[in-house]
A and B are shown apart, each in its own frame.
Chain A
Amino acid sequence: MPLAPGTSHTSDFAGRSWSEAWTEGRDTPEAGSRWKRGLGVGSMQGDSGAFLREITHALLRSPGDCIPPSMVAPPSPPPPPPDPQFVLRGARSAVHALHFCGGAQGQGHPLLLSGSLHGLVHIWSLQTRRVLATLDGHAGKCVTWLQTLPPGPQLLSQGRDLRVHVWDLAEGRNAIVDSVCLESVGFCRGSVLACGPQRWMLAMPGKGGDEVQILEMPSKTSVCSLKPEAEARPGMPMCLQLWQLVTVAIRIPVLIPVPVLIPVPNPVLIPNPTPEPVLADSSPLPLLLAGYEDGSVALWDVSARKVCSRVACHEEPVMGLDFDSQKARGVSGSAEKALAVWSLDEQRALQVHGTHQLTNPGVADVRIRPDHRLLATAGWDHRIRVFHWRTMKPLAVLAFHSAAVHCLAFATDGLLAAGSGDQRISVWSLYPRM
């Protein structure tokens, strides 16, 4: 299918999106006009009407009732909830995966990729707000995860047809260059970690229902399979996140060597500060956070193939998690009415920090903004909730969608996209970065 905007037959939907978004979030002026109250009947007879009005009002209360004291209005009412910046329509089925992509080579404009229930991947231009291309590679099965890879415009897409495809999108191509077979049919999304200029690590749900498989790409060689201990019985993995801890081993001659773990924000960019006196494996330590069906979150040491720590965060399956390696703090959402915030201490032990109660149960996805200041959650109750990540103070409840919100994505510039079962993708600009 050609990529040129405007020629695609899907663009007529996208073209309307802006104006519809503009009117959709609001009441029409007629409906919103103020309602005037008053019992004034034509000609009230002087002052004596006032006390009769009192009588009538007193009567309208039942004798046992008291009028509750009126709420004291806060000095300045909070601003009304914001509207989406724009809305993308045309996915034609529920949106289950979203991913922002820095933009094609040479073009400065970022792209948004969305995966739909019916197996299509749409590539949206955020400039024209139209579909640039549609990729159909999952045989009509739901696309659950999208991820671009750093070298060149390569795209990973995971579908429920038990495939993970690698797409080459460079120079207008849209061809599958490689694919990996999955062994689990769940909704668990994969995770990637770049290990080198042309190597990356891919974590996917593995066979047996409770395993996580680690592959090295692009060679597709299996690194290992992480199988929980038999007695732990955590159930299926529900969400995965690979990340990496740079181990800086400082060898001090006199003292006993103690490896000190320092979380580094961007491990790839930081060269190993001590190139010569190193421990046996000085390479960054790949770690995997996995949320399980029984509501626990486990931290795996991938190279040692063992669980470092596991903590029960929820009563219900964990539906999504995100981790802030800068603060060594993460958050997870589940099918229940609470978010759990947990942290990782220096002994790589997970601890639950606290929970935050929500109004309605069910969190499909949680995302921390790349600047680590905001947290967004996708709710089954059709609402997106935004929190201040450091304090977990609720900041906004975005009630735009009319079906469960399935996925969220933050762009590097702070733009938030949410995909929902109502086939729409809403794009929000909240608290723009200063």
Chain B
Amino acid sequence: MVDLDFSRAFTVNSRMDPVLSTVRLTVREAVHTLSSSEDGGCIFSTLGSLKRYLGETENPALPEEQEEFARIHFSTFLRCLVGKLSPDWLELLPDGQLEELWASFFLEGPADQAFLVLMEAIEGAASKVVGLPDHLGNRLQRENLAGFFPQNYFPLLGEELLQALHVVVESLRGGLDCSVSFLSQVLGKACVHGRQKELLGVLVPRLTALTQGSCLWQRVCWRLVERVPDRAMEAVLTGLVEAASGPEVLSWLLGNLVMKSKKAQFVMTQKLLFLQYRYTTPVLRSLLGYLAMDSQRRPLLIQALKELLETWGSSSAIRRAPLAQQHYISKAILVCLAHLGEAELQDCRDELLASLMAGVQSHLDSSLPAVRRLGMIVAEVASAQIHPEGPPLRFQYEEDELTRELLALATPQPAADSPSEAGPPVAPVTAETTNEEMVSSGGPQAQPEGSDSELDSDDEFVPYDMSGDTELRSSKAPVYVRDCVEALTTSENWERWEATLRALEGLIFRSPAATQEVSVELAKVLLHLEEKTGVAGFEALRQRALVAVTVTDPVRVAEYLTTQFYALNYSLRQRMDILDVLTLAAQELSRPGRRQKPPQRGPPGPGPQPGSPATPAWQAVVEERIRSKTRRVSKGSAGQGPAADPNKFNSVAGYFFFPLIQLFDRPLVTFDLLGDDQLVLGRLVHTLGALMYLSVNTMVAVPMGKALLEFVWALRFHGDIYVRQGLLSAVSSVLLSVPAERLLADLPDELLEAQSWLADVAQKDPDEDCRTLAIKALLLLEKLRDKLLPPPPP
């Protein structure tokens, strides 16, 4: 750097008059001496000779020479001086003569240049301080000292920063002005280096304690963060927000920083909320709590809420943003709402309600249950806050850990007395207590009769299993399948209707021949069946009956159902029911060994059959006895494996599959798979994938696979995540079900296309599940290739 400047000076001055080139030569010599010589006397005399150019000596240089030196050579020379500054160098001459001379150049020369050079030097020093572990690590490689490992060094640096701050505070108390710029720079540099955790882990708890009671310390802290250079602000702030144990702490450490620094405001209200989503809930709480704590900062919170709701409600964000980010934004909204009062919300109520309503709509449209649930929870809480006088919004969703966490956020957290107590909230132990209550409320408790000591042994009465004690249904179910059609279509006797529904599955399996006579009729009745009375488990009963009909007469019922899927005037629910039934029936048909053991799913229909124990105890006894008396010649799997059996789905798979895949791109008046009804499309894709998978080892698998790959190809850029997931799993099922040789022989082009698409999805898809599925499919493809193409000879 010095040489470069010097050469530039040379080229600039080369065309000047020769008088001035003497100055250049002198300076050049001096710089050379300074950089090479170890002799104190020599250095001293060299410096002394240059001092001439500053004037103020007994033998000053010519004025034009002085001017030339000040204009061109001074800063170069000063940099050289700064570069030489080291304890060893200063002690080359005793009594600090060299130091005095060194300092005099800065004090007596042109002040502006001296200042600039000194500032450069300070910055360089900060970099040195922060970069020390890296430098040492690079230089010493394996011989590095433990103290200079970053994880040890930066806590130490934190301690030292704290010491310096102590000094600053002491001198401020003593009435002296101080600057913390250097400390800010060190702090910023260390954070930019990614050492927030080590440095702030030491600094923040100590500063928390110090700032808690002292305004002076708070002001010093504010100043410290303010002076952090803009380019390091984000690193420092994210580190602080993460390290602070609560909003109060952030408020003590930062003050109204967000109002003073644009950069800080951007980081706190935009970057941490919208652009990143890796922070935990407590971090989010402290961040938004910090914004809420001061009246000056509260407008920022309201602004943040508006923007959050807008983002939350944007349908494109819902479609494209990863689920984790949507979850993060929902959490932020709930925390904001918990902080804002009704009066503040009142001012921007219309705006908020508008984004909320749009958002609810888009969330409920999503085909991912998690997204729908987020929409429901946020809408419930937000509408209660924004529009408290209106009727409360209630959705039906299942409670789980996630919903509980979100709902807990909506209630303002009581301010902890000290930040150290604001640890993770202890989960209330509710589960056990409710269990106990249930046990003890088994019956009206008789008054304890202590005098009945002889009765204490009664407690040894062990209750028998009473699970069979269900409500008695008086109405008799029909005995013939044919009667069921009539019983289900007439509505006057609802008890008979319900009994029929409950008995239907068993009847169908008991009399397959009779069922085949009325199968399509029965399927039609069941498909259009609506829940009239609150029959528990109606949906499951109806579905099981439909599956049973389909399994009993697969060709005709599957034909009927698949045509109905694309028929007019069905609800989406019914269409999805059709898909479910087809999948379940295919699964049942392809299940090995179903002939021997008819399925006994669900609870057996209630009836007067005497004492039907769930697992006959005597059977276990008998089996055990047989086992103990039987001598087995060879011990193997003891006949546990299912017997080999042809896949019953083989002959009928086409009836299930091809009608479904044919018409998907022809919109009806009420049903548009490629338009609004993407949820059904997603289900259709999943169903096709499952049918493909279930037709493994069947003859029809190859044409099915070909059709399915073409179908996937047509839809591969679909915007809905659920559809894409279905497509990816469909590809996997093709790879699993179609024999490998046929895949390569019949569908090589499709495979190649699929591979490039899969690779693309695995890298770029916003949804994590999609990426995982794509990777799995790629792995399957890889496996296929390994199997077919022999490894190259070594």
A interface list, Cβ under 8 A from B: 24-27, 29, 32-33, 35-36, 38-43, 45-46, 48-49, 51-52, 55-56, 59-60, 62-64, 66, 77-83, 327, 329, 341, 353-356, 359-360, 373, 381-383, 385, 387-388, 390-402, 431, 434
Q: A355, B444: Cβ atoms under 8 Å? A: yes
Say yes or no: A78-B445 contact (C-beta < 8 A), given A52-B733, A400-B610: no
Say yes or no: A394-B597 contact (C-beta < 8 A), given A59-B689, A381-B472, A399-B611: no
Q: B736, A48: Cβ atoms under 8 Å? A: yes
Q: Within the assembled complex, what's the spacing in Å between the Cα atoms of A137 and B707? A: 84
Q: A63, B369: Cβ atoms under 8 Å? A: yes
Partner of A45, one of B457, B694, B736: B736
Partner of B580, one of A38, A62, A80, A360: A62
Q: Within the assembled complex, what's the spacing in Å between the Cα atoms of A257 and B296? A: 87
Q: A41, B694: Cβ atoms under 8 Å? A: yes
Q: Within the assembled complex, what's the spacing in Å between the Cα atoms of A387 and B693? A: 53
Q: A38, B446: Cβ atoms under 8 Å? A: no
**CB-CB < 8 A to B597: which residues of A?**
33, 35-36
Interface pick from B62-70, B77-85, B171-179, B458-466: B458-466
Q: Within the assembled complex, what's the spacing in Å between the Cα atoms of A153 and B238? A: 98
What 8 A-B pairs have minimum CB-CB distances, sorted nearest first? A354-B444, A80-B613, A381-B472, A396-B464, A402-B608, A397-B469, A78-B465, A25-B611
Partner of A396, one of B398, B463, B682, B687: B463
**CB-CB < 8 A to B659: which residues of A?**
none
Instruction: Judge whether B21 is part of the interface by a CB distance below 8 angstroms.
Output: no
**CB-CB < 8 A to B425: which residues of A?**
none
Q: Within the assembled complex, what's the spacing in Å between the Cα atoms of A397 and B783? A: 58
**CB-CB < 8 A to A45: which residues of B?**
736
Nearest CB of chain A from residue B325's CB, rounded to whole Å: 20
Q: B464, A80: Cβ atoms under 8 Å? A: yes
Partner of B367, one of A63, A66, A402: A63
Residue from B443, B598, B612, B689 having most chain A Cβ neighbours under 10 A: B443
**CB-CB < 8 A to A40: which residues of B?**
592, 642
Q: B729, A55: Cβ atoms under 8 Å? A: yes
Instruction: Judge whether B455 is part of the interface by a CB distance below 8 angstroms.
Output: yes
Considering the complex, give the chain B residue whose CB is closest to the CB of A380.
B472
Q: B469, A353: Cβ atoms under 8 Å? A: no
Q: Could you list some 20 contacts between A and B, CB below 8 A?
A: A32-B615, A32-B619, A33-B597, A40-B642, A52-B693, A55-B693, A55-B732, A55-B733, A56-B587, A63-B368, A63-B683, A78-B464, A82-B464, A353-B447, A356-B444, A359-B470, A373-B458, A391-B446, A391-B458, A402-B608
**CB-CB < 8 A to B530: which residues of A?**
none
Q: B736, A26: Cβ atoms under 8 Å? A: no
Q: A51, B608: Cβ atoms under 8 Å? A: no
Nearest CB of chain A from residue B507's CB, rounded to whole Å: 15
Q: B465, A56: Cβ atoms under 8 Å? A: no
Nearest CB of chain A from residue B49's CB, rounded to whole Å: 82
**CB-CB < 8 A to B452: which residues of A?**
327, 390
Q: Within the assembled complex, what's the spacing in Å between the Cα atoms of A381 and B474? A: 9
Partner of B465, one of A48, A81, A387: A81
Considering the complex, give the chain A residue whose CB is closest to the CB of B398.
A66
Chain B contacts with A in 568-596, Cβ cutoff 8 A: 576, 580, 583-584, 587, 590-593
Q: Within the assembled complex, what's the spacing in Å between the Cα atoms of A372 and B505? A: 46
Chain B, residues 680-713, CB within 8 Å of chain A (1/0): the string is: 0011001101100110110000000000000000
Instruction: Judge whether B106 is part of the interface by a CB distance below 8 angstroms.
Output: no
**CB-CB < 8 A to A360: which residues of B?**
471-472
Instruction: Judge whether B599 is part of the interface by a CB distance below 8 angstroms.
Output: yes
Q: A394, B610: Cβ atoms under 8 Å? A: no
Instruction: Judge whether B16 is part of the interface by a CB distance below 8 angstroms.
Output: no
Instruction: Judge whether B400 is part of the interface by a CB distance below 8 angstroms.
Output: yes
Instruction: Judge whether B297 is part of the interface by a CB distance below 8 angstroms.
Output: no
Instruction: Judge whether B327 is part of the interface by a CB distance below 8 angstroms.
Output: no
Say yes or no: A48-B783 contact (C-beta < 8 A), given A341-B446, A360-B472, A382-B608: yes
**CB-CB < 8 A to B729: which residues of A?**
52, 55
Q: B584, A60: Cβ atoms under 8 Å? A: yes
Say yes or no: A63-B722 contact (C-beta < 8 A), given A43-B697, A355-B444, A434-B457: yes
Q: B616, A390: Cβ atoms under 8 Å? A: no
Considering the complex, give the chain A residue whose CB is closest to the CB of B591.
A39
Q: A59, B369: Cβ atoms under 8 Å? A: no
Q: B369, A81: Cβ atoms under 8 Å? A: no
Q: Within the assembled complex, what's the spacing in Å between the Cα atoms of A392 and B446? A: 7
Considering the complex, give the chain A residue whose CB is closest to the CB of B399.
A66
Q: Within the assembled complex, what's the spacing in Å between the Cα atoms of A70 and B466? A: 19
Instruction: Judge whether B19 is part of the interface by a CB distance below 8 angstroms.
Output: no
Q: Within the assembled complex, what's the spacing in Å between the Cα atoms of A318 and B115? A: 107
Nearest CB of chain A from residue B608's CB, rounded to whole Å: 4
Q: Within the assembled complex, what's the spacing in Å between the Cα atoms of A403 and B3? A: 112
Chain B contacts with A in 743-781, Cβ cutoff 8 A: 776, 779-780
Instruction: Judge whether B442 is part of the interface by a CB distance below 8 angstroms.
Output: yes
Instruction: Judge whether B617 is part of the interface by a CB distance below 8 angstroms.
Output: yes
Q: B612, A353: Cβ atoms under 8 Å? A: no
**CB-CB < 8 A to B780: which residues of A?**
48
Considering the complex, give the chain A residue whose CB is closest to the CB of B698.
A41
Residue from A24, A62, A77, A359 having most chain B Cβ neighbours under 10 A: A62
Chain B contacts with A in 386-401, Cβ cutoff 8 A: 398, 400
Q: Within the assembled complex, what's the spacing in Å between the Cα atoms of A341 and B694? A: 59
**CB-CB < 8 A to A329: which residues of B?**
446
**CB-CB < 8 A to A356: which residues of B?**
443-444
Chain B contacts with A in 449-483, Cβ cutoff 8 A: 449, 452, 455, 457-458, 461-466, 468-472
Say yes or no: A35-B580 contact (C-beta < 8 A), given A52-B733, A395-B464: no
Instruction: Judge whether B141 is part of the interface by a CB distance below 8 angstroms.
Output: no
Q: Within the assembled complex, what's the spacing in Å between the Cα atoms of A43 and B466? A: 43
Considering the complex, give the chain B residue whose CB is closest to the CB of A25.
B611
Partner of B442, one of A64, A82, A390, A394: A394
Q: A26, B458: Cβ atoms under 8 Å? A: no
Q: Within the assembled complex, what's the spacing in Å between the Cα atoms of A401 and B455? A: 31
Q: A36, B613: Cβ atoms under 8 Å? A: no
**CB-CB < 8 A to A353: which residues of B?**
444, 446-447
Instruction: Judge whether B315 is part of the interface by a CB distance below 8 angstroms.
Output: no
Q: Within the assembled complex, what's the spacing in Å between the Cα atoms of A394 and B469? A: 11
Q: A83, B580: Cβ atoms under 8 Å? A: no
Nearest CB of chain B from residue A340's CB, rounded to whole Å: 10
Nearest CB of chain A from residue B466's CB, rounded to whole Å: 5
Chain B contacts with A in 526-541, Cβ cutoff 8 A: none
Partner of A78, one of B455, B463, B619, B687: B463
**CB-CB < 8 A to B462: which residues of A?**
78-79
Q: A373, B444: Cβ atoms under 8 Å? A: no
Q: B470, A390: Cβ atoms under 8 Å? A: no
**CB-CB < 8 A to A383: which residues of B?**
469, 472
Q: Within the assembled complex, what's the spacing in Å between the Cα atoms of A393 and B466? A: 12
Q: Within the assembled complex, what's the spacing in Å between the Cα atoms of A188 and B776? A: 76
Partner of B690, one of A33, A51, A59: A59
Q: B690, A55: Cβ atoms under 8 Å? A: yes
Residue from A382, A383, A391, A392 having most chain B Cβ neighbours under 10 A: A391
Q: Within the assembled complex, what's the spacing in Å between the Cα atoms of A48 and B610? A: 46
Q: Within the assembled complex, what's the spacing in Å between the Cα atoms of A434 and B454? A: 12
Chain B, residues 775-794, CB within 8 Å of chain A (1/0): the string is: 01001100100000000000
Considering the complex, give the chain A residue whose CB is closest to the CB of B396.
A64
Q: A81, B466: Cβ atoms under 8 Å? A: yes
Q: A399, B468: Cβ atoms under 8 Å? A: yes
Partner of B445, one of A36, A373, A391, A401: A391
**CB-CB < 8 A to B619: which residues of A?**
29, 32-33
Considering the complex, give the chain A residue whose CB is closest to the CB of B679.
A63
Q: A42, B736: Cβ atoms under 8 Å? A: no
Nearest CB of chain A from residue B498's CB, rounded to whole Å: 16
Q: Within the assembled complex, what's the spacing in Å between the Cα atoms of A190 and B590? A: 66
Nearest CB of chain B from residue A221's CB, rounded to whole Å: 41
Q: Within the assembled complex, what's the spacing in Å between the Cα atoms of A179 and B493? A: 48
Partner of A42, one of B472, B583, B697: B697
Nearest CB of chain B from residue A404's CB, rounded to whole Å: 10
Q: A394, B443: Cβ atoms under 8 Å? A: yes
Q: Within the assembled complex, what's the spacing in Å between the Cα atoms of A399 and B582? A: 38
